[in-house]
Amino acid sequence: MPWVPHYLRRGVRQWFGATRFWQENEFFIREFRHFPNIAIAAILFALGSAAFEGFGFGFLLAFLQSLVSPTLEPFQTGMHWFDVWILGIDRDATERLLRVSGLILCSAWIRAGFNYLTQIYTELTQQTLVDRLRTQIFEQLQSLSLSYFNRVSSGDLVNTLTNEIGRLNFAFTLIAFIITKGLTLTVYAVLLFTISWQLTLTSLVLFTLVAVCLSNVNERVRNSSVDVSRANAQFTATALEFITGIRTVQAFATQEYERDRFYEASSNIVKAGMKAIRQFAIVRPLAEGLATTVLISMIVLAITIFVKQGSLQTASLLTFLFILFRLVPAIYEMNTSRVQLLSATGAIRNVRELLAREDKPYLQEGDRIFTGLHQSIEFFTVDFGYDANHIVLRDVSLSIPKGKVTAIVGGSGAGKTTLVDLIPRFYDPSAGYVLFDGKDARSFTVKSLRQKIAIVSQDTFIFNTTVRENIAYGLTNMTDEQIWQAAVQANALAFILEMPEKFETILGDRGVRLSGGQRQRLAIARALLRDPEILILDEATSALDSESERLIQQSLEQLSKGRTVITIAHRLSTIMRADQVVVMEQGRLVEQGRYQELLERQGRLWHYHQIQHEMRSSEKA
């Protein structure tokens, strides 16, 4: 249609493009099927409220008629019993006026009751929906592979779970408002049609034009909302990094640098927010101005044509205008809500993207239950890369026998941690297999496999709860005696008893109140209590004092007894008694054998041995 101006065509497209909303939000609208009763109750109460609003206006028409033209035939509903018994059409004008006043009052109170119930049930629907979305995000995060967490920022995730869910909550309030207002508007429309279909059609055409004009402005609001979401996510990420990395910030005296980053992130929110509000603020005055213009045009039209012709009674015109006066603010309130809803688009998109399944890495679940290791864990021609272009493990074949200690040695970045991370299936190989007694690790359920494995490393996570709960983490049926025994064997009892509340002492965020050695001994106690069959030890890289090292070594020996142990060793002194030593370089396995054998071969292990020997000699000197 080339004769239609460009802006008008765009407006029409955008107005009807509102249906895109239903496609974009299908993911959470479908959630309602899980609690249909609450949602249906909310809609029924809203319908009740709208219906009584309608009755109110009907009675108003009757009231005005009795007031303005008492001699004319009184207003009738067509239901004989109602017209006679309730409206009292056979009574005089004053009595009819009083009866109708009473009916208007009753309608108003019943409507108020329905409004109250609508609010309660809408809030209930909203809270249930948001609760479901939060738990779905949690389930989604639980089922994702670690590689997903490597590539997204934790700030973004926290932001989606808190801010964006909050904005989505607000979006739902708006949807509920639009639905309830929509119902009221439908009742208004029916009443208006009954009074004068000509005037109603004219208003409809004029209001559609207003809506089309407003759609252009609405689109800009939608775009600026995405910027607000982005600025919020950036800010949360910056704040989170500053808090979690506070030790590094202080150690490097980078407070100025962090301050600049923080201030910038904060002022970006202000800028994005101001841009959005500038777009948003224009909507309401514009809508009001346009709507008032339409309204005045309607009054002039009605008086000059219909009333003069006598096709409309004064009481009907007054009621028509009264409803129109109620209708106009309701329309721009609805439009404001629609625009506010557009401003939540960014948040809704973020939640939808986080819940989408197509673009995310999941761990493939097997259906076998891993009941225990009988012979060995085998790496068979394993390749692995965190991304397709960067191979970290190349053609690794290795046998880890049951009940023996296998030590992995190699330079920094050689791939030791990556190799052991394939055992509990933190990642799966890009090529080749990890086999448990000849069966592919992927054929077991992840839970049954991980229940048989424990990992002890220096960066074991300490939760902000008591010592007792940290040791028994995830195990609910442990007795005090068992926890005490684990602490004894891990050489942790002495320092726990020195704490103010002993086993009940709260350890602070990430265990900041513990030394590196203490943290590791708690990790050992935690592993002891789980009684794992397969034990993965990632030895501390930072130097511990010799007393602490001796205690840890002792407790590790306790822990290793009778288990299949894979240990990443940085100090060669700790692995002399290992059953086999594996040396890795640049993702390849370059040497394998007993410690003494490898030394005698004078290969890579001998080389590392020499370096550590020289370092110790120079330290002593």
Ligand X SMILES: Nc1ncnc2c1ncn2[C@@H]1O[C@H](COP(=O)(O)OP(=O)(O)OP(=O)(O)O)[C@@H](O)[C@H]1O
Should residue 150 be labelled a site residue for ligand X when binding is judged by CB under 6 A? yes
Should residue 417 be labelled a site residue for ligand X when binding is judged by CB under 6 A? yes
| Three-state SS letters, 325-367 | HHHHHHHHHHHHHHHHHHCCHHHHHHHHHHHCCCCCCECCCCC
Q: Which of 416, 519, 526, 563 binds ligand X (CB under 6 A)?
A: 416
| Minimum CB distance to ligand X smaller for 284 or for 394 | 394
Should residue 285 be labelled a site residue for ligand X when binding is judged by CB under 6 A? no
CB of 457 to ligand X, least distance (A): 10
Name residues whose C-beta falls within 8 Å of residue 602's C-beta, 6 or more positions apart in sequence: none
CA 537 to chain centre: 34
Amino acid at 437: D
Amino acid at 459: D
Rounded-to-integer distance, Cα 470 and Cα 461, Å: 9
Should residue 479 be labelled a site residue for ligand X when binding is judged by CB under 6 A? no
CB of 393 to ligand X, least distance (A): 8
CB of 331 to ligand X, least distance (A): 54
| Minimum CB distance to ligand X smaller for 264 or for 459 | 459
Amino acid at 511: G
| Minimum CB distance to ligand X smaller for 213 or for 391 | 391
| Minimum CB distance to ligand X smaller for 350 or for 457 | 457
Should residue 386 be labelled a site residue for ligand X when binding is judged by CB under 6 A? yes
Pick the piece of the chain touching ligand X (CB under 6 A) from 23-31, 49-57, 210-218, 410-418: 410-418
Should residue 149 be labelled a site residue for ligand X when binding is judged by CB under 6 A? no
Q: Which of 400, 414, 456, 483 binds ligand X (CB under 6 A)?
A: 414
Using alpha carbons, list the distances in angstroms from residue 71 to 59, 99, 247, 306, 319.
Answer: 18, 17, 88, 21, 18
Q: Which of 58, 415, 429, 517 binds ligand X (CB under 6 A)?
A: 415
| Minimum CB distance to ligand X smaller for 314 or for 397 | 397
Rounded-to-integer distance, Cα 515 and Cα 505, Å: 15
Rounded-to-integer distance, Cα 219 and Cα 128, Å: 30
Should residue 477 be labelled a site residue for ligand X when binding is judged by CB under 6 A? no
Should residue 413 be labelled a site residue for ligand X when binding is judged by CB under 6 A? yes
Size of the site for ligand X (CB under 6 A): 11
Amino acid at 454: A
- Yes or no: say if 581 and 407 are a contact pair by the CB < 8 Å rule: yes
Pick the piece of the chain touching ligand X (CB under 6 A) from 303-311, 362-370, 405-413, 444-452: 405-413
- DSSP code string of 559-602: HHTTSEEEEE-SSGGGGTT-SEEEEEETTEEEEEE-HHHHHHHT
Rounded-to-integer distance, Cα 176 and Cα 66, Å: 38
| Minimum CB distance to ligand X smaller for 368 or for 394 | 394
- Yes or no: say if 209 and 8 are a contact pair by the CB < 8 Å rule: no
3-class SS shares of the chain: helix, strand, coil, % to 5: 65, 10, 20
| Minimum CB distance to ligand X smaller for 427 or for 503 | 427
Per-residue mark of binding to ligand X, 96-135 (x: CB under 6 A): ----------------------------------------
CB of 442 to ligand X, least distance (A): 20
| Minimum CB distance to ligand X smaller for 192 or for 578 | 578
CB of 474 to ligand X, least distance (A): 24
Phi, psi of 424 (to 5 degrees): -80, 10
CB of 383 to ligand X, least distance (A): 13
CB count within 10 Å of CB 492 equals: 27
CB of 419 to ligand X, least distance (A): 7
Name residues whose C-beta falls within 8 Å of residue 406's C-beta, 6 or more positions apart in sequence: 400, 565, 566, 567, 578, 579, 580, 581, 582
| Minimum CB distance to ligand X smaller for 377 or for 525 | 377
On the 0-12 / 13-18 / 19+ scale of CB atoms within 10 A, 164 is buried
Q: Looking only at residues 332 through 361 of this chain, which bind ligand X when binding is defined by CB under 6 A? A: none
| Minimum CB distance to ligand X smaller for 196 or for 406 | 406
Q: Which of 125, 236, 418, 491 binds ligand X (CB under 6 A)?
A: 418
Should residue 182 be labelled a site residue for ligand X when binding is judged by CB under 6 A? no
CB of 501 to ligand X, least distance (A): 35
Give me the torsion for CA of 207, 211, 214, 216, rounded to 10°: -140
Should residue 396 be labelled a site residue for ligand X when binding is judged by CB under 6 A? no
CB of 249 to ligand X, least distance (A): 23
- Yes or no: say if 587 and 391 are a contact pair by the CB < 8 Å rule: yes
| Minimum CB distance to ligand X smaller for 297 or for 573 | 573
| Minimum CB distance to ligand X smaller for 410 or for 429 | 410
Name residues whose C-beta falls within 8 Å of residue 398's C-beta, 6 or more positions apart in sequence: 378, 379, 582, 589, 592
Pick the piece of the chain touching ligand X (CB under 6 A) from 112-120, 267-275, 408-416, 528-536: 408-416
Helices 345-355 and 197-244 meet at what angle, rounded to 10?
60
Pick the piece of the chain touching ligand X (CB under 6 A) from 235-243, 409-417, 439-447, 597-605: 409-417
Residue ranges in contact with ligand X by CB under 6 A: 150, 386, 392, 410, 412-418
